Amino acid sequence: MMIPLADYQDALNYLYDLINYEKLGLSGASQYPFRLRRMAELFKQLNLSHLLYPETKAEPPVIPLVHIAGTKGKGSTASLIAAACTASGYRTGLYTSPHLEHLEERFLVDGKTCSHALFVDLVTQVADAASQIAGEHGKPTFFELTTAMAMLHFANSQCDVIVAEVGLGGRLDSTNVLYPTVSVITSIGLDHQHVLGDDLVSIAREKSGIIKSGIPVICGVEQDEAIQVVEEQCKKQSAPSLKLGTDFHFLSKPLPEWGSELQFSGSTSPLPDHAFFRLAMDGEHQAKNAAVAAAALFVLRDKMASLEATSDRTSVERICTQRIGQAFENLQVPARQERFDLSNEVVAILDSSHNEDSIQALANSLRQRNPQQQHVIVFGTSQDKDAKKMLAILAEIPGKLILTQYHTNPRYLATETLLTLLPPEKRSSTTVVTQPLEACQIGHKIAQREGATMVVCGSFFLAAETRNWMLANRSS
């Protein structure tokens, strides 16, 4: 029996009434029911068995797929890979999370969201499939259903390539039932410790759980102890690996106005000796993401070559350095150090950095572009983040700090708590504004008066609540 859904809002309500990990507080997070068997059964009900990783060694994946895990950088890396595939003439499905404004942002085909009518149809189909397996396997979760919706959408859209970002961890993430052509681990850092473990080694084990037998791995991990875990898993799975700093390297420098210049070099096949790219996105961390994305794309190209040889779609262009460069130069992922030129000649940067590593990357980027520049930083974050460490980093940036809190999710950390986590010497000079849009308005006025750059950071939820304000206040 089909689940009756009247319209788009009805479909949204159905999904949000389920367990949504992104809205759980700390008390419920460790109880999140990870069940890969249920995910596999859901795929089978939806006739998506061809996307499942086979229990026994089989033919290559029917649809080439890049699977991406990492503590930070995985969303940008996924978006860069997908954009390059689209630029190369492939119909490309991109699955990422979380979204900023609309849930259908999580599953894009060639960068475009689906219609409301199609969204309702997708929810209806996965809801019906979920009801068929609930008796034996339990009720699927929010993230399991959105993963299934994405893959159903990509299959129905006849995508040539799929790029899928892990939601949380890797080993037990709902995306880990997928059959990858290339696996990517962008980074290992401390985040979601209440679920993944308290140290880098434990977290590395969870994220390296995406490594499959014989499937090539692109590794952007930088810490020795985490690299060792990834290498051990690669060896166990007989999975060839290409590691940043060993098999490929990058150098970057900021472009005069905005963005970065990237010099990529590879030391082993199928990576090129040298390649140069210009990036729309600013910061050395985005250059690193682009280097990891480029390595994955060159391996993907190599793996797809045999498929191209037997394909009758001769009009499809192969992935090449030129097309990769075209995509990298044109792509700005929303809320990833996204620049807005606001009224009264104020420059604002919106960044979804939400843990210690990503806040440090943002701070490094700001210093690299102009170490003397003053900044007005609007910051709000979540209860499960190490706000004290993030604030300590931000307190070192020249300028003023405004503390705020988002309102669309119960996980926010209250401003009065944030203030107590600041270094004592910074508290008296810090402004507290509970409403984020008011915080942006005050930050804009201070930035205009003092010739400072305004930065909004700390959470995807804060970015979602403030991005429309940024768009509305751009200079004409």
At residue 60, the pLDDT reads 83
In the structure, what pLDDT confidence band is assigned to residue 311 with cuts at 50, 70 and 90?
Answer: low
In the structure, what pLDDT confidence band is assigned to residue 20 with cuts at 50, 70 and 90?
Answer: low
CATH class of 338-472: alpha beta
The mean per-residue pLDDT over the stretch 280-300 comes to 97
- CA 255, 188, 292, 69 torsion-angle sign: negative
The mean per-residue pLDDT over the stretch 218-235 comes to 94
The mean per-residue pLDDT over the stretch 159-164 comes to 97
Domains of the chain by residue range:
8-330, 338-472
Type of residue found at 32:
Y
Residue 10 has pLDDT above 50, yes or no: yes
CATH number of 8-330: 3.40.1190.10
In the structure, what pLDDT confidence band is assigned to residue 317 with cuts at 50, 70 and 90?
Answer: low
Residue 348 has pLDDT above 60, yes or no: yes
At residue 476, the pLDDT reads 74
In the structure, what pLDDT confidence band is assigned to residue 251 with cuts at 50, 70 and 90?
Answer: very high
Residue 58 has pLDDT above 90, yes or no: no
Q: To which residue do tokens 């990422």 refer?
A: 96
At residue 169, the pLDDT reads 82
Tens-digit pLDDT profile for residues 63-74: 999 999 998 899
Q: Which of 58 and 179 is assigned the larger pLDDT?
A: 179
How far, in Å, are 58, 186, 195, 285, 331 from residue 259 at the CA level?
43, 20, 35, 11, 10
Partner residues linked to 289 by β-bridges:
none
**Closest C-alpha to 406, from 452, 365, 440:** 440
At residue 242, the pLDDT reads 97
Pair type for strands 260-266 and 248-254: antiparallel
In the structure, what pLDDT confidence band is assigned to residue 384 with cuts at 50, 70 and 90?
Answer: confident
Order across the sheet with 346-350: list the strands. 338-342, 346-350, 453-457, 375-379, 399-403, 431-432
The mean per-residue pLDDT over the stretch 281-297 comes to 97
Lowest-pLDDT choice from 56-60, 90-94, 127-131, 206-210? 56-60
Contact 453, 373 (CB under 8 A): yes
At residue 30, the pLDDT reads 43
163/169 Cα distance (integer angstroms): 17
Tens-digit pLDDT profile for residues 410-420: 889 999 999 99
